[in-house]
Amino acid sequence: MKFGVVVFPGSNCDADCYWVIERVLRQPVRYLWHGDGEIPDVDCVILPGGFSYGDYLRAGAIARFSPIMRAVAQFAANGGLVLGICNGFQILLEAGLLPGAMRPNDSLRFRCCPTWLKVERYDTPFTCAVPRGRTLRIPIAHFEGNYYADPQQLRQLQRERQVVFRYATRDGRVVPEANPNGSLDNIAGIVNRAGNVLGMMPHPERCAEAVLGGEDGRYVFESLIAYWQQKAGDGPR
């Protein structure tokens, strides 16, 4: 499965995603430059974490206008798989590829710590390989991860089952104490209606190797590969 990792000015988890895909998952991967207007032959586009344009206006606000984002929107509209992690999620929100917006954490402090995620859906390309019932331990690291949607958007998210990850306790209870940033309904990750674009604040690439203290993040990448292989097996390619 071929991956592309977008490099925006100020991305800083681009190399981490690249590393995990190449060295841990052993899949082909290339960087996609923000200034390019086209997406080459890849099966999944990753918008990595970091501080595109320094997050100087709002996280993701400037990056969404990069030429590559027009191509990403097209790629997504054609059913391509798009994974936005942290700043990547913020960019997807600003670009309108996912509903809602991010506010600063309610503590007004940057927060880097492990979180436990309840997986709300297993029928997405991003979660199909997660063992049922397993709460995932994946770290966050952000200042603006306090998800907000207006009431109408929220109703739509619920109706369409678009929430994929919620912050939870270790045993999977979604309670206010488990919410690290004030996010609405403990939302940590959502998909678009079609289910091919996911945004998540936690960083799966930071816990894909045992030496870094956990491997739960691998499930996200392995899901993508499993989904893709299945699809390739199903239909003509």
Chain positions contacting other proteins, by CB under 8 A: 9-10, 12-13, 15-16, 19-20, 49-51, 53-58, 61-62, 65, 93-94, 100-101, 103-113, 139, 141, 143, 146, 148-150, 153, 182, 203, 205-206, 209, 211-213
CB 92 within 8 A of CB 47: yes
At residue 120, the 3 state secondary structure works out as coil
Outline where DSSP puts E strands in 49-194. 81-85, 101-103, 111-119, 136-142, 146-148, 163-168, 187-191
Tokens of 224: 């993508």
Residue 158 φ/ψ region, left for φ over 0, alpha for ψ in the -120 to 50 degree band, beta for the rest: alpha
Decide whether 185 or 209 has the Cβ nearer to other proteins.
209
Decide whether 128 or 214 has the Cβ nearer to other proteins.
214
State the DSSP code for 211. G
Distance between CA atoms of residues 90 and 201, nearest Å? 8
- Smallest distance, Å, CB 206 to other proteins? 5
- Smallest distance, Å, CB 115 to other proteins? 12
List active site positions.
86, 203, 205
Decide whether 58 or 231 has the Cβ nearer to other proteins.
58
Decide whether 41 or 210 has the Cβ nearer to other proteins.
210
Q: Which amino acid is at 69?
A: M
Decide whether 58 or 193 has the Cβ nearer to other proteins.
58
| Angle (nearest 5°) at CA 158 between 157 and 162 | 50
Distance between CA atoms of residues 195 and 214, nearest Å? 27
- Smallest distance, Å, CB 46 to other proteins? 14
- Smallest distance, Å, CB 237 to other proteins? 32
Distance between CA atoms of residues 29 and 7, nearest Å? 13
Burial (CB count <10 Å: 0-12, 13-18, 19+), residue 124: buried
Distance between CA atoms of residues 136 and 23, nearest Å? 22
Distance between CA atoms of residues 168 and 149, nearest Å? 19
